[in-house]
Chains A and B, each alone.
Chain A
């Protein structure tokens, strides 16, 4: 009885959470006339009220075709998003993994102070560092280029924090054994640190992807030229301009994140847990 009640409670709450996703999925297979019929009241101001439907009456892939083959703007934005997000993630790998290795593997003077500094920077909201970022980007003439998004992102301290936790948990005996075999620091890092710390690296990358794929504050502040905008900023426009593909564009933008989810949920969970464990 107790279990059944718990189950029911969770089912109810999770359907509230999940319902928006279902609406979006089913609407992405609707034709324009069906979208207007159901949602016109809200989105373009035809009379009446919105109508609820979870299954399209006439399912069609037309919206997907229109979006993928007939919306050049969408391609540009999708590509912008990819460039910015993968630019950041690639840079983060080069910079943050060694830094996390340093924090996780070595005891050195200044370690505690620096790590606290990294933690403080990690929790600073974008709005606080916005001016500082702007001053540098302006000086380096990076404003209004992809670099304005990528460079500050690369030096985010969040992935360092996450990966340090994972590197810390590598048993010392592994490293000592490699040392006795005559391995240098670099090869210990490459042959022991990287493979054993891989779950941490993946966790940080997944959390980073979800964060930057939806980034709005940075592009809004640092990109004036609309052709440089990522999808996250462009999507609201598409809704008003091309009603027929509004839901489809959402689904296509969501697809990479959702696939990452299905593939890497355990890494995601490990990453979230690591963000909460004490130092």
Chain B
């Protein structure tokens, strides 16, 4: 039956799609109901007035973009991201290299670096008090060098306490990612280079670094995602209105939420979503291009 044989692949394709969508249905419906459809509503609201529902065009966006608190928060968030993400990437890379260099005995260190993930945020704050308070451990250490005591968590140094918290919490996660990248490099490459007389540094410079290029982008993205969660520490350390050096977009959103300022929130949510989506798509595009090279 040549006719039937011709039909089969098409029918099978259609069947596959039906089956796939059946498996996907519960998740897709839920995501649509809880995220996608309400987000469309948020986009709509961002163009309307709170009361009366009059179309106001870009006015809400203008309000947000000219808002002073927004400037401060956006600046702080940017500063925080630009400080801690490069630091985290470098530090975790260094540690991953060390762990890999130790071979088997590095396993223990991996576990230790991962434990901060399990420590409740609230306990971290208690511990940070002991460390960074005016009468805390850190000042006892600095006193040895005849420095006057500082209240680290209140004032401009709060920013660095937050950077430290972020590094401390996320270093394990990134180490695992780096190690996965390092172990993914084929040993044959190194062997070939060594036969050609390449030294340790040359191997590192011309094999390890270029091979890790896609990994860097991905770890960067994930570190970015995790950086938003630092709000927990910031919030517990200093509450709704912390020192102005750590007043971040997350605080601003939270405070707008508490005062039910839906208009500002909608416009700001749409803006943030746009920035993040663009960022991800650009990274993904670059990655795909790199993979083709």
Contacts and interface: CB of A to CB of B under 8 A. Distances in A.
A120 interface: yes
A124 B273 contact: yes
Interface string A174-205: 00000000000100010000000000000000
Contact of B23 (A41, A101, A125, A213): A101
A147 B250 CA distance: 23
Interface of B: 16-17, 19-21, 23-24, 26-28, 30-31, 33-35, 37-39, 41-42, 95, 98-99, 101-102, 105-106, 109-127, 129-131, 133, 135-137, 139-140, 168, 171, 173, 176-177, 180-181, 214-215, 218-219, 221-222, 224-225, 228-229, 231-232, 235-236, 249-250, 253-254, 257, 262, 265-266, 269, 272-273, 276-277, 280-281, 284, 287, 291
Given A23-B130, A135-B38, A17 B176 contact: no
Given A235-B122, A236-B125, A131 B265 contact: yes
Interface of A: 2-3, 6-7, 9-10, 13-14, 17-18, 20-21, 23-24, 39, 41-43, 48-50, 52, 94-96, 98-99, 101-103, 105-109, 111, 114, 116, 118-136, 151-152, 154-155, 157, 160, 185, 189, 210, 213-214, 216-217, 220-221, 231-233, 235-236, 239, 246-247, 250, 253-254, 257-258, 260-261, 265, 268-269, 272-273, 275-278
Contacts of B218: 276-278
Contact of B127 (A20, A119, A135, A276): A20
Given A24-B123, A48-B135, A131 B42 contact: yes
Interface centre among A2, A14, A157 (most CB of B within 10 A): A14
Interface of B, secondary structure class, is helix
Interface of A, secondary structure class, is helix
A278 B34 contact: no
Given A98-B24, A108-B21, A157-B31, A216 B232 contact: yes
20 contacts: A10-B98, A20-B124, A20-B131, A39-B130, A41-B135, A99-B28, A121-B35, A127-B272, A136-B37, A152-B35, A154-B30, A155-B33, A155-B35, A216-B231, A247-B126, A253-B120, A261-B118, A272-B173, A278-B214, A278-B287
A130 B265 contact: yes
Given A6-B102, A95-B27, A129 B35 contact: yes
A196 to B, nearest CB: 16
A120 B280 contact: yes
B257 A232 contact: no
Given A154-B30, A216-B232, A232-B121, A9 B98 contact: yes
B127 A23 contact: yes
A217 B281 CA distance: 26
Given A272-B180, A275-B177, 16 more contacts: A6-B98, A10-B102, A10-B106, A13-B95, A48-B135, A99-B26, A102-B20, A106-B20, A120-B280, A122-B225, A127-B250, A129-B35, A133-B38, A155-B27, A217-B231, A269-B110
